[in-house]
Amino acid sequence: MTSNAAGAGTISYEQAGVNYDLIDPLKVAAQRAAAATAGHLAGHGFTEVKASRGESAYVVDVGPFYLASIVECLGSKALVADEMGKLTGRSYYAGIAQDTIAMAVNDLITVGATPLVVQAYWAAGGSDWFGDAQRAQALVEGWKKACDTCGVAWGGGETPALAGIVEGGRIDLAASCTGIIQPKERLSVGDRLGAGDAIVLLASSGIHANGLSLARKLVERLPQGYMTPLADGSLYGEALLAPTVLYSPVTEALERAGVRPHYCANVTGHGWRKLLRHPAQLTYRIDALPRVPEVLRFIQQHAQQDDREAYSTLNMGAGFALFVDAADGQKCVDVARGLGIEAVVAGRVEAGPKQLLIEPLGIRFGDDDLQLR
């Protein structure tokens, strides 16, 4: 099915402007070259955790504990903040800062790491970006607040002015994060994942920072654009800008509560297909769904996506997935709720072919639906 921007019809993620066919060959070449560098660690007396290749963070065994590191990009969410800033006169960069840190921290914790240090990468289109004191201050304050929430030290960073590379008036935001996995038994790269595990889904606050190309494309169809009211009265643009939930307080609290996830999946690009991230041949059966945030329901409706398309692109209310011992499922929910994050024991892992069955919606995603490695 095809559509033009302003007309009717489904908007798929590819139609929203991201062409993975062009990026993927580079990714594969880069992944192969990267894997070939692992041997260098032996020269320093260390080894990589090979299972972390293809996971959300890279893990090295440095002896007394594991070291995990990552760099993550915010993506295009700042463009929505810029548009909404023009429309309302407010700055949304405190939330954008949280989103950027969430991209890095929520990935880092999937391997069982405690995030320790965050570095800021704020590349502006020119020095003048930093001249808007209100916006710059919001970015600084939001960044600090997110570090406070995650208990990480903000180590420093880069604030280059990149005229000619970053567009004028724009900023390219990213964060790197380093953490450790201690004790080493916290490592969760999937070797403990197995049939019988409970699948716990932690609630998202909205679109988080994935699917924004689609969300922005949709604006062209809305006569009131970002100022379109949703069913709950909030504005589309503001709802899109709800900051991404930071999940490291949950994973740290779980460790204190004696719960060690067998595996974790940060639900970002590719939506619920991310639940199929681990290469093991296992079936993931979902029988309870989290509440879908109003803004995602709105996007699904106006982009005329069926459930399969929506759940394959957007988080649909599930920001982070924990795969835990069946006996720990409810405890995870209790710990998350204690931190103000809604959660649900959504299903279980079973022996069987690699597939995700979202039973309430009659959706099946198979191995072919997610190729990350």
133 scored as a contact of a second copy (CB under 8 A): yes
Sole binder of a second copy in the list 10, 127, 224, 301 (CB under 8 A): 127
Candidates 62, 227, 253, 280; binder of a second copy (CB under 8 A) is: 62
Q: CB-wise, 81 or 363, nearer to a second copy?
A: 81
How far is the CA of 358 from the CAs of 180, 207, 295, 346, in angstroms? 34, 20, 21, 10
Q: Does residue 272 belong to the site contacting a second copy (CB under 8 A)?
A: no
Among 87, 116, 280, 372, binds a second copy (CB under 8 A): 116
For a second copy, give the closer residue by CB, 99 or 197. Answer: 99
Q: How many angstroms separate the CA atoms of 208 and 268, rounded?
A: 8
- Nearer Cβ to a second copy, position 65 or 308? 65
Q: Measured between alpha carbons, how far is 178 from 130 in angstroms, rounded to an integer?
A: 27
**Residue 66 Cβ, how far from a second copy at the closest point, in Å?**
12
Decide: is 58 part of the binding site for a second copy (CB under 8 A). yes
Considering beta carbons, is residue 269 or 329 the nearer one to a second copy?
A: 269
**Contact window for a second copy (CB under 8 A) among 3-11, 64-72, 86-94, 237-245:** 64-72
- One residue of 51, 163, 227, 339 binding a second copy per CB under 8 A: 163
Give the strand pairing for 47-48 and 343-351.
unpaired
Site for a second copy in 291-330 (CB under 8 A): none
Q: How far apart are CA 278 and CA 319, in angstroms?
A: 17
Rank residues 58 and 284 by Cβ distance to a second copy and give the closer one.
58
Site for a second copy in 349-368 (CB under 8 A): none
Alpha-carbon distance 231 to 190, whole Å?
Answer: 40
Rank residues 160 and 352 by Cβ distance to a second copy and give the closer one.
160
Which residues, 6+ apart, have CB-to-CB distance to 247 below 8 Å?
A: 102, 105, 106, 109, 202, 266, 319, 320, 341
Q: Which of 5, 9, 10, 27 binds a second copy (CB under 8 A)?
A: 27
Cβ distance to a second copy smaller for residue 41 or 230: 41
Contacts of 131 (CB under 8 A, 6+ apart): none
- Contact between 184 and a second copy by CB under 8 A: the answer reads no
3, 12, 46, 283: which one binds a second copy (CB under 8 A): 46
Work out the burial of residue 100: count CB atoms within 10 Å of its CB; fewer than 13 is exposed, 13-18 middle, 19 or more buried.
Answer: buried
DSSP state of 64: S
Tell me the CA end-to-end span of the chain in Å, nearest whole number.
Answer: 28
Helix H or strand E encompassing 296: helix 294-302
